[in-house]
Each structure stands twice: as C-alpha cells, then as structure tokens.
C-alpha cells in the first residue's frame, strides 16, 4: 500500500472488515505484520514492555514455524496473534483455493480467528469464505509505511502523528525492511501516543 489511510471506497467494499475501533474511546490498536523474526520481534517486544503497551501481531506462518519461541514469547507477554497467511500471499495473485489453503496451513500453527490479508488485497470470494468460517478480517486505519525505502524514521513518526485518531488501528511491520527505522521511530511514537493520552488496546 502507498497510502497512509485507506480511502472510504475500500471500506465500502469490505464493510464487515475491521478498519477502526470505537471512535468514542481515546485508544489505539498497534499491529505488527510479517514476523516473527529474531532480527526485529525481540526489539519490538522489549519496546512495547517499556511503554506498557500491548499489540496484535499478524504473523506469517512460515516465520512462525521457523521461530516458535518467538510465537510463544509474544503470547507470554500478553499480546494477540493474527494470521497473515503462511507464505505472505497476495489475494490478487492467487486462486481462492490456493489462498484459503495457505491461511489454513498457517492457522495450524497460529490458532487464531484474526486475519489480515497481505498488502490489504483480498478477493470477494476469499473474504466471504473467511467470514463464513468465523474469521475476523482486520484491516487498518493508519499504515506507517515503515517498510518503505523512500521514507525516513521521521517520516514514519509524522505519519502516525498526522493520521492517528480515536480507535485507529495502526500498522507497523516486524521485518528486515522496517526494523532499522523502528529502532528510532517506535519509542518516539509510543512516547507521543502516551503523551497524547491514548490507551493501548488489543484486537479481540
């Protein structure tokens, strides 16, 4: 995605997906996609602990299989886990059967009913089948673009400051593309959110 906030038309296409939580409550919902990996996830967990913040981690099943101790550590520290497919598949590039089978494979490890489609792309058939199977499809209200080579740490911080509002689901990544920026940006962002009076919630 190349936009910090999804256009309303996206929300109309998937009205039962979760884009934002209670706008009347001063709370935000931190999410981290693409992990877990040892180069990024431990730093993120330690930083969240420093600020007494909880988050939801949308994990790639293949990474979870490689690093089961990190999956356990995320749960042990009180965070939630979501499914991000087994091989980070795009719903736009694969048949419904291939895509859904990949989600099932990941869920053998992750055991969760929270799902976020990689890149935010999911076909209507895939969307309907997942909802029928009881999955909660979680999108976002703010994507930080921490993975982008075109953005600096300050750009990531400013994206959060500019677009965050009550109930925002904020997307970061625990990945090799993002971790160098997050080492500076994440503590700054968490400190700012606390200063602004936001509570940290997890997605149920």
Catalytic positions are 33, 173
Which residue, chain included where needed, has tokens 């040892």? Answer: 38
Whether 54 contacts 79, CB under 8 Å: yes
Encode 5-72 in three state secondary structure.
CCCHHHHHHCCCCECECCCCCCEEEEEEECCCCCCCHHHHHHHHHHCCCCEEEEECHHHHHHCHHHHH
Question: For residue 40, what are the CA distances in angstroms to 15, 32, 115?
Answer: 33, 11, 21
> What DSSP character marks residue 168?
B
If you count them, how many residues does the chain have? 204
């Amino acid at each position: 995605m190349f936009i910090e906030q999804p256009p309303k038309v996206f929300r109309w296409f998937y009205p039962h997906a979760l884009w934002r939580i209670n706008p009347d409550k001063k709370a935000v919902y931190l999410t981290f996609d693409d992990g877990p990996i040892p180069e990024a996830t431990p730093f993120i967990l330690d930083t969240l602990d420093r600020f007494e913040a909880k988050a939801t981690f949308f994990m790639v099943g293949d990474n979870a299989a490689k690093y089961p101790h990190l999956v356990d550590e995320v749960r042990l520290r009180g965070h939630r886990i979501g499914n991000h497919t087994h091989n980070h598949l795009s719903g736009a590039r694969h048949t419904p059967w291939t895509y859904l089978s990949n989600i099932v494979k990941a869920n053998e490890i992750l055991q969760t009913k929270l799902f976020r489609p990689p890149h935010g792309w999911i076909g209507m058939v895939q969307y309907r089948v997942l909802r029928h199977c009881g999955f909660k499809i979680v999108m976002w209200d703010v994507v930080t673009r921490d993975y982008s080579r075109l953005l600096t740490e300050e750009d990531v911080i400013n994206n959060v400051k500019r677009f965050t509002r009550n109930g925002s689901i904020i997307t970061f990544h625990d990945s090799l593309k993002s971790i160098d920026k997050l080492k500076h940006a994440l503590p700054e962002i968490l400190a700012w959110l606390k200063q602004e009076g936001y509570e940290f919630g997890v997605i149920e």
